[in-house]
Chains A and B, each alone.
Chain A
């Protein structure tokens, strides 16, 4: 059974279409990065998965309809919406007591253990903590829940580099066990490149690209092309071309690496580079006539 299965998921707010027929399948044990520009429908998709908003179309999360069975679902699903949702008045000890009280799968000693590694005092109120500490607290609460699906919507927004690094480190070291599923959205794509197992791009309410990270590394190659080989390189149909410091950098999909090595310096692109390429092709703004819209509708 997939962890999440959506077919034709639609959601409109008035005349604004936030989700325009999303088809999605996430297997258990994956870490999915859901990347998209502002207003692409990321949060709407996550809210539908979490049972926070009604929707049209089919959606099953761990076999349940989230809108109808939110509180049941929340026994198996945790989420961190962003760093600012912990109530500011609550004391750390009260937050632990409350979650321990209402959540059947919360392990208090685990939470205490995670908090023990931080400088957060039990008697502090959330409003007295720094943003980074609030994120640590929320993560400690969530990691102590034995959930099957964890959803992180911009979890590190506004945190400094140290806290962001720490956030993903503890998530991978202390939480992820290859049976849990994690979905994360973020604009800081570079910091999740080595965290995620699956990648999905969403734009204007549609999933426009999806692949797993092994495929990502074998499929895509970026070449800093020697100026004299530019015409040869373009003949191989790059999916995107950009200029950097006077050099042309071309992005290829499923082109033999040995062939590319002759054209210039080959390296694996960053998620951000691929994202820009895909979104540009979606928007029908071919750059230098080099963008091929072969991504439209490509999903895993």
Chain B
């Protein structure tokens, strides 16, 4: 509270004193926490998929002794594939759940707060628009990826324990089973894929969705999808070319420079990581530049936008 003397002299010092008490990390940390309060699907959806995967795996377990027997006669590649497939499916499904959540989340988060007028409450607190937008980007680029990895790790560990028990119980060698799964390398592959593709390569996509969410007055999904679609159509009709289309396709399926060998499957143990060439891809850095510009614009827009 201001004392009368402070109010009377009204120096700059007395003005900036309370602001100095603000540490920038606390509002950011709590802004991220608040996203998790609001969008519980960020962790509930991948968890639910993880639970479904575990349930499905029970069926796999029942057939596991037979599968083991058949696998013994196969060549190494097929052998590995037969045994590791449920694990690969589990990782892909959880990752897909996290991806779908991030699409819905990024389109809603800056639009929903204007629609339900709660932006007026958020703006009544000493949190800057940039902090808010960065917290939302952090959910997309960091929290969701870490969560999807952690949930996969837990689910696959449970799967491994259950299946090892069945394998041991039916008289096969557990060590052989483990070595043919090569889980250690696939978990590495998953982490690498999440960082290179979902965190770095897809960053401009997520940030574009955040920007549209901050900008649109209604139907953010349409506004996110229609303009790129319109550009593709326009280019086709006007110039009979499809550069923009191939650019979009490359962006969606991209990040291929990050891995070499294998069949392009992120969980294929034959693939090897090539972070060097990936980091030298101009597309990566251009994309990150665009991502930063989108975030900055989203923060500017949020500053000006009033409730819908």
Residues of A within 8 A of B (CB): 1, 28, 47, 50, 52-54, 62-64, 70-76, 78-81, 84-91, 94, 97-99, 101-105, 138, 146, 148, 177, 179-180
Chain B interface size range: 35 or more
What is the minimal beta-carbon distance from A38 to any residue of chain B, in angstroms? 17
Closest to A100 in B: B30
**B121 on the A face (CB < 8 A):** yes
Residues of B within 8 A of A (CB): 1-2, 4, 7-8, 10, 12, 15, 18-19, 21-22, 26-27, 29-31, 33-34, 37-38, 113, 116-118, 120-121, 123-128, 131, 303-304, 306
Residues of B within 8 A of A78 (CB): 124
Using A28-B2, A74-B124, A81-B120 as known contacts, say yes or no to A105 and B18 having CB atoms under 8 A apart.
Answer: yes
Closest to B303 in A: A70
Cβ contact of A85, chosen from B21, B37, B121, cutoff 8 A: B121
Return 17 A-B CB contacts under 8 Å, by A number. A1-B8, A1-B10, A50-B123, A71-B127, A72-B126, A74-B127, A75-B21, A87-B113, A88-B118, A90-B37, A94-B34, A97-B30, A98-B37, A101-B27, A101-B33, A105-B18, A148-B2
Using A1-B7, A179-B2 as known contacts, say yes or no to A86 and B128 having CB atoms under 8 A apart.
Answer: no
What is the minimal beta-carbon distance from B30 to any residue of chain A, in angstroms? 3
Are A87's CB and B118's CB within 8 A?
yes
Residues of A within 8 A of B2 (CB): 28, 148, 179
- Having A75-B22, A86-B118, one finds 15 other A-B pairs with CB under 8 Å, namely A53-B306, A63-B12, A71-B128, A72-B22, A75-B18, A78-B124, A84-B117, A87-B116, A88-B118, A99-B125, A101-B30, A102-B26, A102-B30, A177-B1, A179-B1
What is the minimal beta-carbon distance from A145 to any residue of chain B, in angstroms? 9
Residues of A within 8 A of B131 (CB): 71
Closest to A28 in B: B7
What is the minimal beta-carbon distance from A299 to any residue of chain B, in angstroms? 23
Residues of B within 8 A of A71 (CB): 126-128, 131
Distance of A85 Cα from B119 Cα, bound (Å): 8
Distance of A52 Cα from B121 Cα, bound (Å): 12
Closest to A64 in B: B15
What is the minimal beta-carbon distance from A64 to any residue of chain B, in angstroms? 7
Distance of A50 Cα from B126 Cα, bound (Å): 11
Closest to A51 in B: B123
Are A87's CB and B38's CB within 8 A?
yes
Cβ contact of B34, chosen from A47, A72, A98, cutoff 8 A: A98
What is the minimal beta-carbon distance from B250 to any residue of chain A, in angstroms? 38
Distance of A118 Cα from B246 Cα, bound (Å): 61
Q: How many A-B residue pairs have CB under 8 A?
A: 104
Residues of A within 8 A of B306 (CB): 47, 52-53
Distance of A160 Cα from B5 Cα, bound (Å): 41
Residues of A within 8 A of B117 (CB): 81, 84-85
Cβ contact of A102, chosen from B19, B21, B27, B116, cutoff 8 A: B27
Using A54-B304, A85-B118 as known contacts, say yes or no to A90 and B22 having CB atoms under 8 A apart.
Answer: no
What is the minimal beta-carbon distance from B36 to any residue of chain A, in angstroms? 10
Residues of B within 8 A of A99 (CB): 125
Distance of A177 Cα from B4 Cα, bound (Å): 13
Closest 9 pairs between A and B when the two form their complex, measured CB to CB? A101-B30, A1-B10, A87-B118, A74-B126, A81-B120, A71-B128, A85-B120, A85-B121, A104-B21
Closest to A1 in B: B10
Distance of A85 Cα from B113 Cα, bound (Å): 10
Using A53-B306, A87-B116 as known contacts, say yes or no to A104 and B38 having CB atoms under 8 A apart.
Answer: no
Distance of A138 Cα from B18 Cα, bound (Å): 23
Cβ contact of A103, chosen from B113, B123, B125, B128, cutoff 8 A: B125
Residues of A within 8 A of B304 (CB): 53-54
What is the minimal beta-carbon distance from A165 to any residue of chain B, in angstroms? 24
Are A87's CB and B121's CB within 8 A?
yes
Residues of A within 8 A of B31 (CB): 102
Closest to A53 in B: B306
* Most A CB within 10 A of own CB, among B10, B37, B124: B124
Are A75's CB and B37's CB within 8 A?
no
Residues of A within 8 A of B120 (CB): 52, 81, 85
Residues of B within 8 A of A72 (CB): 19, 22, 126
